[in-house]
Amino acid sequence: MNDFTAAFGEAFGLIARFDSDLVEIVGLSLRVSLSAVFFAALIGLPLGAAVALFRFPGRRLLAVLLSSFMGLPPVVMGLVVYLLLSRAGPLGVLGLLFTPTAMIVAQTLLVTPILAALTRQVVADLWTEYGEQLRSLGATPARAVPTLLWDARFSLVTVMLAGFGRASAEVGAVMIVGGNIDHVTRVMTTAIALETSKGDLPLALGLGIVLILLTVAINAAAFLIQGATQERAA
Residue in 82, 98, 130, 164 binding another protein, rule: CB under 8 A: 130
> Which range in 11-19, 95-103, 137-145, 202-210 contacts another protein by CB under 8 A?
137-145
In the complex with another protein, the residue whose CB is nearer, 76 or 137, is: 137
Q: Which of residues 177-206 bind another protein (CB under 8 A)?
A: none
Asked if 60 touches another protein (CB under 8 A), the answer is no
- Minimal distance in Å, beta carbon 234 to another protein? 4
Residue in 2, 5, 136, 197 binding another protein, rule: CB under 8 A: 136
Task: Give the C-alpha separation, 53 to 57, whole Å.
Answer: 13
In the complex with another protein, the residue whose CB is nearer, 111 or 152, is: 152
Distances (CA, A) of 170 to 7, 35, 166, 176, 214: 24, 15, 6, 11, 15
The one-letter amino acid code at 111 reads V
> Which range in 79-87, 148-156, 183-191, 192-200 contacts another protein by CB under 8 A?
148-156
Question: Which class for 62: exposed (0-12), middle (13-18), buried (19 or more C-beta within 10 A)?
Answer: middle
Asked if 140 touches another protein (CB under 8 A), the answer is yes
Task: Give the C-alpha separation, 8 to 191, whole Å.
Answer: 17
Asked if 232 touches another protein (CB under 8 A), the answer is yes
Task: Give the C-alpha separation, 77 to 82, whole Å.
Answer: 8
Asked if 146 touches another protein (CB under 8 A), the answer is no
The one-letter amino acid code at 74 reads P
